[in-house]
Structure 1
Amino acid sequence: MPRFFFHYRTDDDFIIDPLGTELPDLEAAQEQAAEVGKVMLAKAVEAGESPQASRCIEIVDEEGVEVLYIVFWASASKPGTVQAEELLKPPTLH
């Protein structure tokens, strides 16, 4: 089973996934990245960070090749109204 690594990037940080996760295919890795993105976004909002800030997950294969780059963010109908719970709804990938 292939191993995928999920590196998290913001404008200020780059967090490397040193262990990776064994998953059956890239589609499963994409679903995993969406779940990780939701959790990271919820934590960022809980910490008082802007939900509109640039964030992404870079999915890298075992050879170190980037196979997918997922950008995610949340937007609110009114500034300052996004709650962390709202961010845990099913993801939309862009």
Structure 2
Amino acid sequence: MPKKIYTGEVVSNKMQKTVVVSVTRLAQHPLYKKTIKKVVKFKAHDEEDKCKIGDLVKIIESRPLSKDKRWKVVEVVGRHEAEKPDIVEEISN
């Protein structure tokens, strides 16, 4: 059986060598046929701690690494550019 591969956005990187990846997909309601957006969060192993919040990453299914972690980060597809804060000059009295 082939391993599943998903692409999602990193929503948390607070843990060591672990990121939380949010995967969004569209599904059709079985009765009403309306398209619904479904979001699932996966904990994925990030060996090099290279992922940042907002990055677009590709994850692959793997053996259980912990109680909740069953995915590994394969590659960072897109980087999120952090907004630079405006420089505020201090006013001296």
TM-score norm. by structure 1 comes to 0.25
* Higher RCO, Cα 8 Å, sep 6+: 1
Structure that is richer in helix per residue: 1
TM-score norm. by structure 2 comes to 0.25
